[in-house]
Structure 1
């Protein structure tokens, strides 16, 4: 170790600044309720967009008390490999390619590079 290193100051765990004259940002406390009746509060900045749901960590997802119901997100269509292949080639083109590859596998046609 270097002779100039700071030993024993725990620089990573403690701040050397004092809290004198520091004022925290204005906050609002929002209450959430889980389906099992458990309620908990979460502090947010007054400027924050407060979400309609919040995970309590132990009881599951809680709904905002006195808030609006969250909008259902539209289901996203899952694109399969077949869907993506059909975006690039028509079914007729795929049939021609399949016939060519089968002929190569059967030894009926020479392999093309």
Structure 2
């Protein structure tokens, strides 16, 4: 049996210029992760709602693991492989998977790519 060492961290980011007092959905690499997403100061199950100025602060929880019996050389390689781009999209569209041309259907959206 392998023991897993979990590292958990959260990404917090502010989004400006969205439609005021509107509900949004966060997509990470085109998929929703509602159990890992929340609005700052709210609970995981609460909807993501912009304020009257069209601003929202989002918290996305990331957990990753590397088995404890992994050799050091493999751990270093795993860290390099984790440095892949992650696309975050916040939009008013509620779909299980975000479509390629979501920009055409969205009332407003924000998009950013991060390297972790």
Instruction: Decide: shared fold, TM above 0.5.
Output: no
Structure in which a larger fraction of residues adopt strand: 2
What TM-score results when the alignment is normalised by the length of structure 2? 0.24
Name the structure, 1 or 2, with higher relative contact order (CA <8 Å, separation 6+): 2
Larger radius of gyration: 1
